[in-house]
Amino acid sequence: MEQSGCRPALGQFRFLAHELRLLTHGKSSRWLVLFFEPSAGVIISYRLDRCGYLLCGQIWTGLRVLFLPGFWFLRLLSCRHEICFKAAIGRGLQVWHPTLGVVVHGDAMVGKDCILYGGNSIGCRRGVRRGELVLGDNVTLGINACVLGPVRIGNRVTIGAGAVVVSSLADDVVAVGVPARPQA
């Protein structure tokens, strides 16, 4: 589990650098237009917000008001999204087509290399505590896929477009439908 303090907070900048490299697809010319892509703005605003929370703890909620103009500017470069700064998301977050909307609950714990294709919601059906809404490593959510906790999603799971996950999924599965069920 992530801890607050300087080292984890500064780790958000390493995560951000890695994620921006993923967005450029290894092409140096893409760095020129990267900051005008909505995906980059979403990831930058989440990582900066998360860094502030890890540095300041609970008082970050009040201090965010001081940084509001900066976050508004990032929203102009990207699009509306609600990725809570309390959500612990591992390295390698990719958000494709964020103009469809992305919502991540503050108690969500998401592993590394998560891919969100837009219109996604990672939230809850009832009160969820930290550790009850968990997505493993290498999880992909198709367009408009939703995960509604409390659930545990295993590693290397693909959730199909429009699927609604309301129960836990094991490792290495593809789940589709409403409610989502693993495919054979």
In this structure, what are the phi and psi dihedrals at residue 167, rounded to the nearest 5 degrees? -140, 160
Collapsing DSSP to helix, strand or coil, 10 comes out as helix
Verify whether residue 105 is a known catalytic residue.
no
Place of tokens 């977050």: 93
**73: part of which helix (H) or strand (E)?**
helix 68-77
Instruction: Report the b/e string of 55-73 with b at 16+ CB within 10 A.
Output: beeeebeeebeeeeeeeee
- State how far the Cα of 139 lies from the Cα of 114, in Å rounded to an integer: 5
Q: Which of 18, 25, 81, 97 is catalytic?
A: 97
Collapsing DSSP to helix, strand or coil, 69 comes out as helix
Name the residue type at position 67.
F
Q: What separation, in Å, do the N-terminal and C-terminal C-alpha atoms of the chain show?
A: 33
Nearest CA to 94 among 55, 149, 146, 37?
Answer: 37
Q: Which residues are catalytic?
A: 97
